[in-house]
């Protein structure tokens, strides 16, 4: 319990700092927000940029889909459903979205500490807590109305339940997670392989119940069924990625990152180089840690990370957003902490550098920059 209180304190302190920096960025560079029902308070308006509008509007108006048009079907329903439920109780949907994001994000950090403690012990878990809490894109967990905090809390909770051999809870939480983000291939594969690993580690024969986590695909399947019945396209969330403005239709142009090269070569502004190059660098670093994750944490977690990072990387036209998507690959942060623990000098340099990058990105987000 003592470590949980410390974890909550660390997460809360970082969250408070990030919200303050986002708000400061907004106040120094106000961004007009012409959306209905949005309270005109800097603390609220500063956090509701970009995809936040999609999520809240889904909670208010539901889904619609037009071919070749940016449509809300790209966003999975778990998070908007929670916003809708809160609004039915009388809450302003924008405020509800912020409170939900902050609550889920803090819960994810606390659950991560508990999971890391089970996997590698309290010392490594405390280091991993800092790696996650100070990750440059972690400000998306601290009140920004995106679904990252919800998915992360559910996914970590699912794996933590699995480690404690509560397979029913692991499956239920996993199903909720796959209904919140398009992460079903990674989550189901990771849970299944980890379930088999745990059974073999106990020197027992596999049982049918060990395959129960495959049912975690239910959340994803339910959304696909809805899209099929409502719009005639079970994979509309993927089809719509090719709409003008998003321009990420499956194909060689996307897979080979032609847009990325076109934007960077022969010459690009420093901001474009930093933005696109930074996301690509984070992607490469995350995938480079997959073998170490396999050795230190096992095949289940390594496969989860490989698919959780690899599929978005393949589907992205220019790697943009991958820095945020890496948040979902939470075992990486424990692996990184273990690697940094073997290199004390590098760890001492990494902590302030990562915290500075986190502060900078939070400020830029508040100022309306498209950072992820």
| Integer Cα distance of 210 and 162 in angstroms | 10
Q: pTM for the full model?
A: 0.94
Nearest to 297 by CA among 148, 170, 121, 165: 121
Among 20-24, 95-99, 204-208, 298-302, the least confident range: 20-24
∠ CA 237-241-243 to the nearest 5 degrees?
Answer: 120
pLDDT greater than 60 at residue 3: no
Average of per-residue pLDDT across 290-318: 96
Looking at per-residue pLDDT, the higher value among 9 and 336 belongs to: 336
Per-residue pLDDT at 2: 41
pLDDT band, very low/low/confident/very high, at 62 (cuts 50, 70, 90):
very high
Average of per-residue pLDDT across 70-76: 96
Whether cis (ω within 30° of 0) applies to the bond prior to 144 is no
pLDDT greater than 50 at residue 147: yes
| Integer Cα distance of 162 and 187 in angstroms | 12
* Average pLDDT over the chain, rounded to an integer: 90
- Delimit the domains of the chain by residue range: 2-246+334-366, 247-333
pLDDT greater than 80 at residue 242: yes
pLDDT greater than 90 at residue 348: no
DSSP for 179-192 reads: TTSS-HHHHHHHHH
Average of per-residue pLDDT across 62-69: 92
pLDDT greater than 80 at residue 13: no
| Integer Cα distance of 188 and 359 in angstroms | 34
Among 43-57, 83-97, 120-134, the least confident range: 43-57
Per-residue pLDDT at 1: 43
Q: Taking a C-beta distance cutoff of 8 angstroms, is the pair 182, 77 a contact?
A: no
Q: What is the pLDDT of residues 253-268, one digit of tens each?
A: 888 888 888 888 888 7
Per-residue pLDDT at 96: 94
Q: What is the pLDDT of residues 83-121, one digit of tens each?
A: 999 999 999 999 999 999 999 999 999 999 999 999 999
């Amino acid at each position: 319990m003592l470590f949980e209180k410390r974890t909550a304190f660390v997460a809360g302190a970082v969250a408070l700092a990030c919200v303050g920096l986002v708000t400061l960025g907004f106040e120094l560079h106000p961004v007009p927000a012409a959306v209905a029902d949005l309270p005109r308070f800097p603390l609220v308006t500063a956090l509701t940029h970009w995809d936040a509008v999609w999520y809240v509007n889904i909670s208010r108006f539901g889904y619609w889909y037009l071919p070749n048009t940016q449509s809300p079907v790209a966003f999975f329903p778990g998070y908007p459903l929670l916003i809708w439920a809160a609004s039915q109780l009388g809450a302003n949907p924008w405020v509800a979205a912020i409170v939900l994001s902050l609550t889920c994000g803090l819960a994810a950090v606390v659950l991560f500490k508990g999971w890391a403690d089970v996997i590698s012990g309290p010392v490594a878990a405390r280091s991993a807590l800092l790696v996650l809490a100070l990750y440059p894109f972690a400000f998306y967990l601290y009140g920004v109305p995106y679904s990252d905090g919800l998915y992360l809390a559910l996914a970590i909770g699912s794996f933590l339940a699995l480690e404690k051999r509560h397979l029913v809870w692991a499956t239920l939480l996993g199903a909720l997670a796959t209904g919140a983000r398009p992460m079903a291939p990674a989550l189901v594969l990771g849970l299944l392989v980890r379930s088999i690993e745990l059974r073999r580690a106990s020197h027992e024969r596999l049982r049918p119940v060990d395959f129960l986590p495959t049912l975690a695909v239910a959340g994803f399947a339910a959304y696909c069924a809805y899209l099929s019945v409502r719009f005639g396209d079970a994979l509309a969330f993927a089809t719509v990625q090719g709409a003008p403005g998003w321009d990420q239709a499956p194909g060689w142009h996307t897979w080979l990152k032609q847009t990325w090269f076109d934007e960077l070569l022969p010459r690009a502004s420093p901001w474009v180089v930093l933005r696109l190059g930074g996301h690509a660098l984070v992607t490469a670093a995350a995938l480079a840690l997959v073998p170490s994750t396999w050795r230190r944490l096992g095949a289940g977690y390594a496969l989860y990370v490989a698919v959780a990072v690899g599929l978005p990387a393949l589907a992205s036209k220019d790697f943009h957003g991958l820095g945020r998507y890496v948040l979902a690959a939470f075992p990486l942060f424990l692996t990184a902490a273990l690697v940094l623990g073997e290199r004390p000098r590098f760890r001492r340099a990494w902590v302030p550098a990562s915290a500075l990058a986190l502060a900078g990105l939070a400020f830029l987000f508040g100022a309306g920059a498209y950072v992820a």
